Amino acid sequence: MKVSILLFLILAICIFNACQEDQIPELHILKESEFSWDEKENCKIVFTHNEETDTLNGEIKFRGGMSSKYFKHSFSLELDDKFSFPDLPKDDDWIINANYIDKTFMRHKISFDLFREMSEKNIAAQTSYINVKVNNKYEGLYVLMEKINGGMVELEKQDTMAMIFKEPPIFKEEKEFTEENASNYYDQKFPKINYRDKTAYLEEFKTFLFHSSDEEFSDKISEWIDIENVIDWNLLLLFSNNSDGIMKNFYLYKIDASTPFRIAIWDYDHSFGRDGDNEKNMMERELDCKRSVLIRRLMEIESIGYSEMLASRWKELRENDIFSIENFKKHIQKNDKIIRKEIKKNAEVWPLNDKWYYDDNSYQQELDLMIEFVEIRLKQLDESFKYKQQ
């Protein structure tokens, strides 16, 4: 009898601990004044996970372009000291993403995870789910993201040729100057442009992309950009149908003088059955990667053999079970296990039938939509690349 009671107590403790471990962390933002869209301002962060609490100091502001019109806002957070949130690297720069328009809270996360899964050289933000409060008021479920910067992509910062740009308008020839971009047209993030301006180097790359002969392009393109990385980026764009990601929603970076440019992906809510404004798109509107001069020239200059490389890499990713319905479902199930119980609570504050959505799909219906999209897209791309499963 005593043994049975002891076993029952041990089981109860194990169940209690498991429940504690499943709790989504809470990030509580304390700030006396309203949040600014322009400048980060002082704040205090109280972070709670599994009954452990850390108090952190930092600066915060609202962030977002088109997403700023939504009622639920994202934040950019810079801590005074580096901190390691659960399952994430230690850092001081973070994005607290509202993920408002994606009812699944998964499109960014799965896209980033797949890109890294494709190759250890592929860079995308690592993410985690958190509940957010502001001055004791529950603000909902958020996705905590690494901020892509020089440290995150492991730039050799002492190398004068190390650089990083956010969404540089390099794949289209015409320039569009605005008041915001006039002093930093290519949005140079590292090094600081007033310390070492790399505009001329990016202009040299852009001139090469648009004006080199086919022979010169074929001979020297691999000196400018990592072709394997571009192929993976290209295939993820195709797989997700993220037409927003062709000309923007990426970082262009160069680790040091000896390495070519690489692409780190960013912002993938325009994917897997939805356009960026949440309009349903089950391949009625297909992306056109040739809008990018880089991809267009790679595809059209036969001596490069880019089309064959794309098909070969597609075959490899299919056979390695990276691009498969089974793997996609695994990613969904993993995230669903974490957030399902939080979705209803979030929807009580931010209803899923709000005016910004094109339909009243529930969370589960949206998961089903993503899976249906992937089934459609895999079939299309298998046919395009002439791939047949063994």
Query: What pLDDT score was predicted for residue 179?
Result: 76
For residue 176, what pLDDT is reported? 87
Give per-residue pLDDT as tens, 106-132.
999 999 999 999 999 999 999 999 999
Predicted structure pTM score: 0.92
How many CB atoms within 10 Å of residue 211? 10
Q: What is the DSSP letter of 291?
A: G
Interior angle at CA 89, CA 83 and CA 93, nearest 5 = 55
Q: What's residue 18's pLDDT?
A: 45
CA 118/CA 101 separation, integer angstroms: 26
Q: Could you tell me which of 134, 131, 130 has the C-alpha nearest to residue 32? A: 134
Q: At what angle do helices 214-224 and 293-300 cross, to 10 degrees?
A: 120
Question: Per-residue b/e over 14-24, b at no fewer than 16 CB within 10 Å?
Answer: eeeeeeeeeeb
pLDDT tens per residue across span 3-31: 455 455 445 444 444 444 458 999 999 99
Q: Is the pLDDT of residue 37 over 90?
A: yes
Instruction: Write the pLDDT tens digit of every residue in 274-331.
Output: 998 999 999 999 999 999 999 999 999 999 999 999 999 999 999 999 999 999 999 9
Nearest to 141, CA basis, from 77, 74, 63: 74
Beta bridge partners of 96: 75, 144
Q: Is the pLDDT of residue 360 over 60?
A: yes
- Tens of pLDDT, residue by residue over 240-280, are 999 999 999 999 999 999 999 999 999 999 999 999 899 99
Distance CA 370, CA 337 (A): 17
d(CA 97, CA 75): 7
**Per-residue model confidence as pLDDT tens digits over 48-96:** 999 899 999 999 999 988 888 999 999 999 999 999 999 999 999 999 9
Rounded to whole angstroms, how far apart are CA atoms 306 and 311? 9
Other beta carbons within 10 Å of 49: 17
